[in-house]
Structure 1
Amino acid sequence: WGVVLAGNLAGTLLVAYVMLNLPIFDTSTDKAFLEIGHKVMENDVSQMFSKGIVSGWMIATMVWMIASMENAKIAIIILITYLMALGDFTHIVVGSAEVSYLVFAGELGWKDFWFTFAGPTLAGNIIGGSFIFALISHAQIRSEKDTTAKLERDRQDKAEKSRREKQQQTLKDADISMQNDI
């Protein structure tokens, strides 16, 4: 997980640097990228954290849904990321591209990147993602326990029924034997 996060952060920082420093976009597009980064940084530390919880939950839910929805993977990704953007939720990977663009443009320091954005957002993402996976795991384990308990009850009921049938057969055999003796 840590290696994937480090790779994602390195990639987003590189993309932000390249987007700013290579003549890829016109001036209005560069200004739009700066506005996006400033919009993220309008959040204070507690907002970064709380919005990070929601986006961590959403991404973890998306990952769980993708694993079980073979034909709707693209639609799920589009829906969840659209909802994240609509809600202005903070995410460590996506936001790193947006906020590091400000850093590379000289409009934000690395201290603010790490302590105002990255730290609180990452903590929120971890809590949100862990929460949903804990719920899913709990539900799955509970379901398995319920299924196991039902199977055990069914096995015991079947064994009890078989024992009663044998007991009744033994009584019938004894009754027949007594009638034959008379």
Structure 2
Amino acid sequence: MTNKKFESEDSETREAIDRAASGAPAAGWAIRDRFSSDEIFQRLIASADEEIATGKQELIFSGFAAGFAIVLSFIGYAVGKTYFPHNNFLSAILYPLGFMYIILGRYQLYTENTLPPVVLVLTRLASVPLLIRVWTIVLIGNVLGAGLGSYILANTHVLSPQTMEAGAMFAKHGLETAWWDVFFKSLFAGWLVAGVVWLGNAARDTIARLLLIYIVFYTIAVADLFHVITAACDVFYFVFVNGSGVSIFYEFWLPVLLGNTVGGVFLVGLVNFAQVEQHPYPEARVLSPRELLFSWKGGQTNTPAHSTDEESKPISE
């Protein structure tokens, strides 16, 4: 009897350790260092719930900080192009720097931090207007931060003349690329970033996440793909240096924005979500079709699996 009691206590202790405060698994059920697709999805739900519940002020300032930090990627890539103008493999070495800074620092970055809430809408745990609110605030913050960073770089001597010239070529290259080519390049970039979101929730340690971030964003640069916030930095810098008109935003930045968004939502919606769609969350209240489309409802969605006797928190407006 005593042994059974200890075994029961050990089981309860392990279950408590293996779950975060949100109820998301902190370790795999079958294999502790490997999550199943359903467990990854639960972790993504918990992360998305945190994102969509963030206040406006926190979103805008975190987004602004991320936009300003993306300048690090611009600087790194421009320096690389200065020293290795004809070698993409070497010139892109420092491109992931800003993304590593942002993602590991948990700043709000459009695509990386705005894709997880899509799963809340797909599972009818948050409304479409609430999703658009997060997207809009984060995007505005990112663009403002990128604009300020670009202005400083364009009007000071932080960069050498050769590096400034190399940086101005980024947006010029985008303008020379056909609109639909930019869109599809950005679509694949959005798909890659969504992969970072999914695989990041599958990783259990910072080193694995660091390598994941570096490899994916290095690939984006080497493959000549486009990310919407680095593209914003490129565009602002080009405008501040050359005095170009605002038409560059439609000709280059807009297809990047659309491509990243479509590519990311496609992966989250039609690939990752589809493989766990058959696993409902009965403890969470789903929104009605009317609430899904017209309300501002969304909130706590996860209840720890071991606390089935407790009611889940209501979805708050």
When the two structures are aligned, how many residues end up with a matched partner?
143
Counterparts in 2 of 1:54-65, with a 5 A limit?
54-65=188-199
State the partner residue of 1:158: none
Q: Deviations over 1:19-57 (max 9, x none)?
A: 110121221111111122322222121111111111111
- Tell me the residue number matched to 2:173: 39
- The answer to whether structure 1 residue 75 and structure 2 residue 204 are counterparts is no
Task: For 1:36, give the aligned amino acid.
Answer: F
* Structure with more helix by fraction: 1
For 1:117, the equivalent position in structure 2 comes to: 252
Structure 2: tracts of 5 or more residues without a match: 1-134, 281-317
Q: Could you tell me whether the CA contact under 8 Å between 2:235 and 2:253 is conserved in 1?
A: no
Q: Classify the secondary structure of the residue corresponding to 1:30.
A: helix
CA contact (8 A) 1:36 1:98 kept: yes
* C-alpha spacing 1:11/1:53, structure 2 compared with 1 (3 Å): same
Q: Give runs of aligned pairs for residues 74-113 of structure 1, distance below 5 A.
A: 74-106=210-242, 108-112=244-248
- Aligned counterpart, 1:25: 159
Asked whether the 8 Å contact 2:170–2:234 carries over to 1, the reply is yes
Q: From 234, 251, 272, give the equivalent of 1:136.
A: 272
Q: Which amino acid aligns with 1:136?
A: N
Separation of aligned partners in 2, 1:63 and 1:28: 36
2-structure distance, mates of 1:37, 1:2: 23
Partner of 1:3: 137
Deviation at 1:107, TM superposition (A): 5.1
Q: What are the superposed Cα offsets for residues 29-88 of structure 1, whole Å, 9 maximum, x if unpaired?
A: 111111223222221211111111111111111111112212211111100101100111
Calculate the TM-score normalised by the size of structure 1.
0.74
CA separation in 2, counterparts of 1:22 and 1:70? 41
Secondary structure of 2:158's aligned partner? coil
Q: CA deviation at 1:121?
A: 1.2
| Kept in 1: contact 2:186–2:263 (CA 8 A) | yes
Q: What is the TM-score normalised by the length of structure 2?
A: 0.43
Instruction: Check 1:14–1:108 CA distance in 2 against 1; reply closer, same or farther (3 A cut).
Output: same
- Give structure 1 stretches of 5+ with no counterpart: 146-182
Distance in 2 of aligned mates of 1:118 and 1:35: 15
Larger Rg: 1
